Amino acid sequence: MKHKNHISYKYYVKGELEITSPLIIASGNDEIADLQCIRDKDGKLFIPATTIAGNIRDYLNRHFKNDNLINLIFGSDNDQSEQSMFIFYDAELINVPNLCVRDGVALDDWNKTVKEKSKYDYEVINPETTFLFRMEVNVREKSPKNKEDIEAIILKVISTLCRENIRLGAKTRRGFGKIKLINQEFLKIDIVNEKDKWINFDWQKSSFDSNLNQDENNSELFNNVYNTKITADFDIPNSLIIRTYNTDPKDVDSVSISYKLGNDNIYLIPGTSWNGALRHSLLNIGRELDKYSEMNELIYNFFGFAGNKQKNKKAIRSKVIIEESKIRNPKAKKYVRNKIDRFTGGVVESALFDEKPIYAAKVTLNCEINDPQDYEIGMLILAIMELQNGFQSVGGGTNVGRGRLTGSEVNISTQDKLNLLSESDKSKYLNALATALNTTGGNDAKPE
């Protein structure tokens, strides 16, 4: 059978994907942790091409002005479908991976205690790990778009990766999975006039010397989408610990979560810890206002929900991305404690333990909301105010005064430019939240 739609141009793109926030690409294996990162047959970490392609497609699908264009470019499963123009490769590990295992636990929303049988752990690829990125694009004679538009789409993919707008793997709404394309190179081959160059192409030996000149920002193919960003700076006046436990009996029993970068410990407040504190503060306010069920419904729709088959509730994706925060200028100190018998006031036998919280540090909370309503911004602002005023703590040991934060300012932006939140805007968003609480029906009765 004679082919009727030959390839006329080939584009090759290569570079390095640098992990800039913790990454989880789950495999289904559990020898190392309950949630273990995927490896090849030789035990080497990699990022599947399906993961890269799916997340890029999802991102572009939200930015194309023409909804059908994504199916023309990336293919579809209908009867009239065409093969995808884009070809992605598995991203192979380049350097020695920075790995760790983190603990996770589900807390009861009402009293912030651990739910029964809810302890788990998961393997994480830490920042500074890099993977090889490779991508091909086939442009055929009868292409659904002209060459200039296709180059604009290719550049959009590249610039999206370079700007850390793509997230991979699990827990992406809690600061995980950020990647950044660096050291990128391009090669464009005219199949008709450069057959030998195409036939002899080699990812390592071929000269990547062609640049794409199209400015993707001027393209009429894409929507300009601006998310609302909210940040708040906090001081840690006393102590804070996000517990992780040591397996070495000679070491401190528990320390605040961190990862190694060279000789330094990078201490963190994970996005999951921020999320728990923000949600819990709002639920407490809802309880005090006798609006628990109404606040609960707003929280489900805003912060997301994992689903509950028993109650026939579907999972909801979070609208807010809560980044993991690096703690600045931390001072970690060992602290020895005893467990006390609550009835006798004496020390419980064999209950001496030590921990290593951090003291007198600073941290910044960074959040990003997709297409927010005013009342949703109000929810986040109100929760941040609870943290700033010390009414809500972060992390463990809150019963002994750990995790209290102080702060006074909130910054907000809609087009990547942060500005101090004015009192009038704060009032607008909080009034919108009050209106939403009075008009929503609520979905859960108050626990007994």
105-136 pLDDT, tens digit per residue, is: 776 655 556 677 677 888 999 998 999 999 99
State the pLDDT at residue 238: 92
State the pLDDT at residue 312: 64
Question: Does residue 256 belong to any structural domain of this protein?
Answer: yes
Query: 238 and 212, same structural domain?
Result: no
Instruction: List pLDDT tens digits, range 20-34.
Output: 999 999 888 777 888
Which residues lie closer than 8 Å to 337 by C-beta, 6 or more apart? 352, 353, 354, 355
Q: Does the pLDDT value for residue 448 go beyond 50?
A: no
Q: Which residue has the higher pLDDT, 437 or 442?
A: 437
- As a whole-number percent, the residues of the chain with pLDDT over 90 amount to 53
Query: 135 and 244, same structural domain?
Result: no
User: Do 396 and 242 contact (CB within 8 A), yes or no?
Assistant: yes
State the pLDDT at residue 81: 66
State the pLDDT at residue 446: 46
The closest alpha carbon to 176, from 292, 44, 21, belongs to 21
Give the C-alpha separation, 295 to 50, whole Å: 38
User: Do 253 and 353 contact (CB within 8 A), yes or no?
Assistant: yes
316: CATH: 3.30.70
The closest alpha carbon to 230, from 428, 384, 65, 440, belongs to 384
State the pLDDT at residue 33: 84
What average pLDDT score do residues 184-199 get? Answer: 91
Q: Does the pLDDT value for residue 247 go beyond 80?
A: no
The closest alpha carbon to 9, from 191, 193, 213, belongs to 191
Question: Does residue 444 belong to any structural domain of this protein?
Answer: no
Quote the pTM value.
0.86
State the pLDDT at residue 447: 41
Q: Which two tokens stand for residue 237?
A: 């006046």
What average pLDDT score do residues 177-202 get? Answer: 92
200, 218, 236: which is the final residue of a domain? 218
Q: Does the pLDDT value for residue 364 go beyond 70?
A: yes
* Residue numbers of the domain that contains 403: 228-439
State the pLDDT at residue 445: 47
Query: 87 and 189, same structural domain?
Result: yes
* Host H or E run for residue 7: strand 7-19
Question: Does residue 283 belong to any structural domain of this protein?
Answer: yes
Residue 216's pLDDT band (cuts 50, 70, 90): low
User: Do 180 and 161 contact (CB within 8 A), yes or no?
Assistant: yes
Query: 235 and 213, same structural domain?
Result: no
Question: Does residue 371 belong to any structural domain of this protein?
Answer: yes
Indicate the average pLDDT of the chain: 86
Query: 118 and 24, same structural domain?
Result: yes
Total number of domains constituting the chain: 2
Helix, strand, coil percentages, rounded to 5, for the chain: 25, 35, 40
Give the C-alpha separation, 236 to 402, whole Å: 9
Give the C-alpha separation, 24 to 35, whole Å: 8
Q: Which residue has the higher pLDDT, 415 or 74?
A: 74
Query: 433 and 311, same structural domain?
Result: yes
